[in-house]
Amino acid sequence: MSSKAKQPNSYRGRYSEPLPTVNLVEDEEDFPEFEAFESDDATPRGFAPSGEPLSVKKVDMLQQKNMREHFTSEYDIDQLVVRRGQEFMMQVTFDRPLVDGDDFQVEFLIGVNPTASKGSMVLVTFGNRNGGPWKGRILEHQGEYVLLGITPTPKAIVGRFRTYVAVVDGAGMKRTKRDISTDVYVLFNAWCPEDAVYVDNNAERLEYVLNEHGVIYQGSLDSLVNRSWVYGQFQLGILDACILILDKSKMAIHDRGDVIKVVRKGSAMINAQDDSGVLVGNWSDDYSMGHSPTSWTGSINILMKYYNTGVSVSFAQCWVFAGVFNTFLRALGIPSRVITNFSSAHDNTGNLKTDLIFREDGTKDEAHTRDSIWNYHCWNEAWLTRQDLPAGFGGWQVVDSTPQETSDGHYRCGPASVKAIKEGVLCHQYDAGFVFAEVNSDIVFHKRDRYGTLTPFRLETSLVGLAIYTKALNGSGHVDITENYKYPEGSTEDNATMATAEQYGSQRNHSSIPDNPLTVSVYAEQVLLGQDVSLQVNFTNRENTARTIKAHLAGSIVFYTGVEASRFKELDFTVTVPANQTITEVIPISGQEYAPHLGSQVSMTFIVTGKSGEDSVTGIKLLNLQTPTLIVKLSGRSRVGNMMNVNIFFTNPFSFALVNVHLAMEGPGLISFRTRYYSIIEPGGSLNWMEVFRPRRAGNRTLVAVLDCNNLRQVMGVAYVKISG
Amino acid sequence: MSSKAKQPNSYRGRYSEPLPTVNLVEDEEDFPEFEAFESDDATPRGFAPSGEPLSVKKVDMLQQKNMREHFTSEYDIDQLVVRRGQEFMMQVTFDRPLVDGDDFQVEFLIGVNPTASKGSMVLVTFGNRNGGPWKGRILEHQGEYVLLGITPTPKAIVGRFRTYVAVVDGAGMKRTKRDISTDVYVLFNAWCPEDAVYVDNNAERLEYVLNEHGVIYQGSLDSLVNRSWVYGQFQLGILDACILILDKSKMAIHDRGDVIKVVRKGSAMINAQDDSGVLVGNWSDDYSMGHSPTSWTGSINILMKYYNTGVSVSFAQCWVFAGVFNTFLRALGIPSRVITNFSSAHDNTGNLKTDLIFREDGTKDEAHTRDSIWNYHCWNEAWLTRQDLPAGFGGWQVVDSTPQETSDGHYRCGPASVKAIKEGVLCHQYDAGFVFAEVNSDIVFHKRDRYGTLTPFRLETSLVGLAIYTKALNGSGHVDITENYKYPEGSTEDNATMATAEQYGSQRNHSSIPDNPLTVSVYAEQVLLGQDVSLQVNFTNRENTARTIKAHLAGSIVFYTGVEASRFKELDFTVTVPANQTITEVIPISGQEYAPHLGSQVSMTFIVTGKSGEDSVTGIKLLNLQTPTLIVKLSGRSRVGNMMNVNIFFTNPFSFALVNVHLAMEGPGLISFRTRYYSIIEPGGSLNWMEVFRPRRAGNRTLVAVLDCNNLRQVMGVAYVKISG
């Protein structure tokens, strides 16, 4: 790569130099080895005071000691990795003992055309002269050895700096040569109170910056699916891949100390739309041109593919975007987590209405319904102090890299303050109104008459944003963080929030909706995929006269986005409900009825609609089918360097064969990514996949395994182990 | 064009229908001519009450009468153009007199897959049944003639609607056929108090919505250049071109009633970066691949080129972006104006510092200076109520379509509330911090020592945003609107604003800067291009002892962006200034010295630096050279349809030949765009270009002419005339 980017000619009247946007330039030659001072009669020529010129023999970045202090030891990187706003040491060996009057400085450069006024060239001096914003001091001085302490500002640019030691030598500066081994990565610092990502709780820092493993919640509240995810932010190559993402986004080097800009840029770059970002979204059943979203065990493979090829990786759905974005954030030192919003309103232009349209006969009018409620949606939170907002809006911020077709036409979202969302203060940047709608939309049920006119007949204010989950600090369990986003439904504070949100332009439905004495609810126990379902439909009549209801049941396979994939059942029936009573109809749904229609989906909806005179009722049940799990067994002494075994067991419990079966496993610090392929697993057939490995790092470690095939997704397994050092 | 956009397969699990983003679909067939009601046993079959079926013979949109009432008569469009939130009329002729029980409705559709819940299909009923959000009433009814009054909501989608009249006929709906002549354009409405663009002053509405002509200010405060600009928003094809811009941006149809989203989208689309928008920026001297930015007479040609080819148009600089954006806004009914900020801080990432770097010897260090001050920068203001912000931030909003390399990496800016900028409240969307820096940055003068360290030696807090001009309501004079953006420099309110801005993260320089007893200022009278300049350099010494200053003068040709194009003079000299005195040195600069270096630029800077002991001084003078004007003379009776003459006179006043000379003229309502080419105009040579035309519209009209060639830009002329009807 040429180190000097060519200035586009049509902009030559705007910049004397091109705006530097590339960090990873390994062959950059910044200086001649000796740079003469410019002629300047006003300043007397200097000479080395001892008469003997000074030069540098060796520069030692003291990686091991520094990285322990900076909580960066886990990065599998030869160079020094430090967090800004915190002192690190380097040892310089000169060719002779230092004497009074010897003058040297350390220089850190990032990107092409680095410049002191933009913080991309930092000069560190040691008490003798004015230097740049990073502080330097001599910690120890013994003969030719000098131990230096250097503290980057808490606003330093984040990325990979090149290090030079420059000695003032008479008529100029004599510098060390470019040496990749003295490069230093500077990260955001959650341990530094002056950093915009400061977290004051150690357990939280350990989880949200340092944990390489996470759990992403899927499914629904009553059939929760835990998907283990390997973030792998310390793996060899991952930090460079994250810096490459910023390079490919053409983000100016001198903006990369601003964490708000970095997370916003990240939310745009993790998806491939617009900008050749990391991941291509695919919400279909056809993943033949890539890997299915359910087949990934974590972020490492995805980021390394992108790093090695520069081409967007196929395919992702929301949890994949969120998982990879989380790796990006943690790798750069930004505290972050993946959260799941159950029943997430989508694609409705940020208004507080999700409109579902029904026909006059009560059945759902798919052709005229444009909005959808996703069974769940995953996004990220990043912990930022938000100096750009009024006080009180720091803390967790929503960032979302799943491409949202209707979010201002740009495929990025956030950072939006979670506190601002809770209070309905939607005027603050960025995209708070959009996130507010995802967790707070009302569902408006409209009846569409024969003339095309819509009349709302039911309003549900509590079905969207049912709960918001994230992984607990300890272990792999979930914690419910709904109260971070919302006051209790119907509380005084909740009403105030909704009123505030409307002041800022979010539109709600205020149609008067007639009271309805009839209601219907639908219920079913969770079952294993393929098993029979017993559907319970409860009709309630709160009137003092009996009512006869003409009812209709529609059973559909749905994507997790709520969109219908296929309909497998239609049933008309009639129920008479006595005054002030509830009647329950039980409708059996056999495995044979739905299983052939599943494709790779695991969710069904049952919509019961009823009509009695002018009154319409609607009940909806989302049912997530349980999938079998992989059994993951570790054996052997769990000690660094010792040989261990992992066995993965699986039996096909279904009456149908599984074909084109891909298995994958990985465990950061334990075992690198491995795959295995079976062309077919017959009904009742079993597999036992064994691999051997030697743990490389001590501590609590996780191994994640996934099975994926065209007719069965969502089969996972995980094992935890503590490795001793 | 296929009317049903194909759903990308990889998103089939997300939308049942593709998100509609195309308005201009002329061949859309929305309905079968007869649409049977769906079978529904609960509703009895209807029959035409008179026994005789009703059908529609004719639909008249009453363009002339409606457009007078809606202030849209000037649009050169066959179809009806109305403003939302205001009633318009249409006359429907049936095939027999209406009788009680006859049932019909009018339907307005926009985009593909229109839907009632998103406002893209609007059903208007007339008292008989519930309809959609647009109100309908019968104004007159005589036999088979019905005069209808229809009021779009003040939040209606803006764009081109298709109109149908539907008659309820027994078992279904019988509709008129698609008829392009009954299409109706719905615009934003500055006359409607419920519209988000409401302006309560008639003179302002006439100027900011209806004036087709404007003046854009260039140059500098002491050598102001008035550039006439034809917005031409009513010209045939322009409104369609503006809608096409939204179509090409893939903006969802159902977002197009939200003026905030429309102006933000416009700011992204007027420039070609990212999104195949309208105009390609070029800040160089080489425009050989297109038209030079100085050669345009207005927006019409640019927008029609884009409309006819779909390809971005070459080339633009800031006033061209602003001129075309203004046409876009006014065409859609959004009140707007072009403003000019003199001494505009740029490319400095939104911080409140513009860093200029000088060498130890006092000369400017171009190689290490990254920031620039543009001599002027043009942007737009749009008048919006801003329902998305807290009260108090409505009114003028900055929107800027000139691509800003460092504005969050996206080539769009605003809307940012001017009031929020004045108060420093930079937390509100969108991009307020960036605009704030453009008008409020401090200039920090740094000295760069031999080791590379920067030390600030001078801070200027009042050199950026010297004044902000826009065209006055009446006539072509300017009005100074600086006080809309800023409190007086140094006032209590100004200090409060700066403190607020810093709270929201804008960084200033707070280095302590030593007092300096020496100052230097540079002054020159404005001259015609090519004439000699007499430079006055004033050195002041406020110390009680005389000081000898070693001074340096650098004379450069600069782009209007402040970037140096070439340097033509370097001069060292020494001055001794007695205690507490000012000494003036006069330095003559001959035309022969600078003219050969001008290229197509017309601006020079003279930088005088001086050094006396430890004290450095710097003075900068920007000099804009005057260019000759075109003389434009109209003759003949100024009456619609009468033949008139225009003569354009020009004499080359220079000692050099003008080569490849392009002339252009246009006058909306008077004369369509014309050009003429001269391969050479010798020194002292003249031209007289005559054209004949017949005025097409009455009222105050303007004719704009421009001369442009490689070695002379900025030659313009204008003529005003009142045409009687």
The answer to whether residue A461 scores a pLDDT higher than 60 is yes
The pLDDT of residue B28 is 67
Do B283 and A117 make contact, defined as CB atoms within 8 angstroms? no
Encode pLDDT of B96-129 as tens digits: 999 888 999 999 999 988 989 889 999 999 987 8
Residue ranges of B 248-307 with Cβ closer than 8 A to chain A: 249-252, 254-255, 261, 264-265, 274, 280-286
B585 C-beta neighbours (distance < 10 Å), count:
16
Q: How confident is the model at residue B362 (pLDDT cuts 50, 70, 90)?
A: confident
Mean pLDDT of chain A: 90
Residue A512 touches partner B, C-beta closer than 8 Å: no
Do B14 and A264 make contact, defined as CB atoms within 8 angstroms? no
For residue A282, list chain B residues with Cβ-Cβ distance below 8 A.
Answer: 10-11
Task: Give the nearest partner residue to A561 out of B14, B118, B503, using CB atoms.
Answer: B14
The reply to whether the predicted model has a pTM over 0.90 is yes
The answer to whether residue A17 scores a pLDDT higher than 80 is no
The pLDDT of residue B404 is 74
The pLDDT of residue B104 is 94
Choose, from A102, A103, A240, A400, the residue flagged as catalytic: A400
Q: How confident is the model at residue B51 (pLDDT cuts 50, 70, 90)?
A: low
The answer to whether residue A185 scores a pLDDT higher than 60 is yes
Do B370 and A115 make contact, defined as CB atoms within 8 angstroms? yes
CA atoms within 13 A on the CB side of B68: 3
A43 C-beta neighbours (distance < 10 Å), count:
13
Residue ranges of A 310-329 with Cβ closer than 8 A to chain B: 315
Residue A474 touches partner B, C-beta closer than 8 Å: no
The pLDDT of residue A139 is 97
Of B61 and B289, the one with more pLDDT: B61
Q: Indicate the SS3 state at residue B228.
A: strand
Residue A135 touches partner B, C-beta closer than 8 Å: no
The answer to whether residue B350 scores a pLDDT higher than 90 is no
CA atoms within 13 A on the CB side of B94: 25
**Which residue has tokens 């409190």?**
B487
Of B184, B129, B299, nearest to B231 by C-alpha is B299
Of A209-218, A243-252, A359-368, B15-24, the range with the lowest mean pLDDT is B15-24
Of B21 and B663, the one with more pLDDT: B663
The pLDDT of residue B7 is 41
Task: Give the nearest partner residue to A117 out of B132, B357, B406, using CB atoms.
Answer: B357
Shortest Cα distance, chain B CAs vs residue A132, angstroms: 6
The pLDDT of residue A363 is 81
Of A223-237, B27-41, B80-94, B200-214, the range with the lowest mean pLDDT is B27-41
Which ipTM value was assigned to this complex? Answer: 0.88
Looking at chain B, which residue has its C-alpha nearest residue A566?
A: B13
Q: How confident is the model at residue A9 (pLDDT cuts 50, 70, 90)?
A: low
The pLDDT of residue B369 is 86
The pLDDT of residue A706 is 97
CA atoms within 13 A on the CB side of B275: 23
For residue A43, list chain B residues with Cβ-Cβ distance below 8 A.
Answer: 360, 450
Looking at chain B, which residue has its C-alpha nearest residue A169?
A: B451
Q: Indicate the SS3 state at residue A55.
A: coil
Residues A473-483: what's their mean pLDDT? Answer: 92
CA of residue A283 relative to chain centroid, distance: 18
The answer to whether residue A114 scores a pLDDT higher than 80 is yes
The answer to whether residue B505 scores a pLDDT higher than 90 is no
Encode pLDDT of A608-653 as tens digits: 999 898 888 999 999 999 999 999 999 999 999 999 999 999 999 9
Main-chain phi, psi angles of B653, to 5 degrees: -85, 0
The answer to whether residue A3 scores a pLDDT higher than 50 is no
User: CA-CA distance, B588 to B585, in Å (whole number)?
Assistant: 10
The pLDDT of residue A509 is 80
Catalytic positions of B, written as ranges = 318, 377, 400
**Which residue has tokens 């003379």?**
B633
Encode pLDDT of A558-591 as tens digits: 999 888 899 999 999 999 999 999 999 999 999 9
List the single best residue of A157, A167, A451 to mutate versus B (max B Cβ within 10 A): A451
Residues B197-215: what's their mean pLDDT? Answer: 97
Strand partners of residue A695: none
Of A246-250, A469-473, B358-362, B663-667, the range with the lowest mean pLDDT is B358-362
Mean pLDDT of chain B: 90
- Fill in the DSSP letter of residue A473: S
User: CA-CA distance, B321 to B340, in Å (whole number)?
Assistant: 12
Q: Are B457 and B513 in contact (CB under 8 A)?
A: yes
Do B359 and A43 make contact, defined as CB atoms within 8 angstroms? no
For residue A599, list chain B residues with Cβ-Cβ distance below 8 A.
Answer: none
Pairing of strands A313-316, A279-281: parallel
Do A14 and B372 make contact, defined as CB atoms within 8 angstroms? yes
Please give the share of chain B, as a percent, with pLDDT higher than 70.
94
The pLDDT of residue B41 is 46
The pLDDT of residue A50 is 53
Q: How confident is the model at residue A15 (pLDDT cuts 50, 70, 90)?
A: low
Q: What is the dihedral of CA B539, B545, B550, B551, to 10 degrees?
A: -10
User: CA-CA distance, A414 to A264, in Å (whole number)?
Assistant: 6
Q: How confident is the model at residue A412 (pLDDT cuts 50, 70, 90)?
A: confident
Residues B352-363: what's their mean pLDDT? Answer: 85
Do B427 and A390 make contact, defined as CB atoms within 8 angstroms? yes
Shortest Cα distance, chain A CAs vs residue B208, angstroms: 25
Encode pLDDT of B615-638 as tens digits: 889 999 999 999 999 999 999 999
Distance (Å) of CA B466 to CA B221, B223, B344, B357, B401: 8, 14, 8, 21, 22
The answer to whether residue B474 scores a pLDDT higher than 70 is yes
B696 C-beta neighbours (distance < 10 Å), count:
15
Encode pLDDT of A118-146 as tens digits: 899 999 999 878 888 999 999 999 999 99
Query: A377 catalytic, yes or no?
Result: yes
Pairing of strands B159-169, B172-175: antiparallel
Q: How confident is the model at residue A39 (pLDDT cuts 50, 70, 90)?
A: low
The pLDDT of residue B70 is 98
For the residues of B88-121, what is the DSSP string, one character each? EEEEEEESS---TT--EEEEEE-SSS--GGGTSE
Residues B58-77: what's their mean pLDDT? Answer: 97
Shortest Cα distance, chain A CAs vs residue B130, angstroms: 7
The pLDDT of residue B44 is 46
Looking at chain A, which residue has its C-alpha nearest residue B356?
A: A117
The answer to whether residue A437 scores a pLDDT higher than 50 is yes
Residue type, A73: S
Distance (Å) of CA B569 to CA A109, B122, B560, B597: 34, 69, 19, 11
Residue ranges of B 88-107 with Cβ closer than 8 A to chain A: 105, 107
Query: A400 catalytic, yes or no?
Result: yes
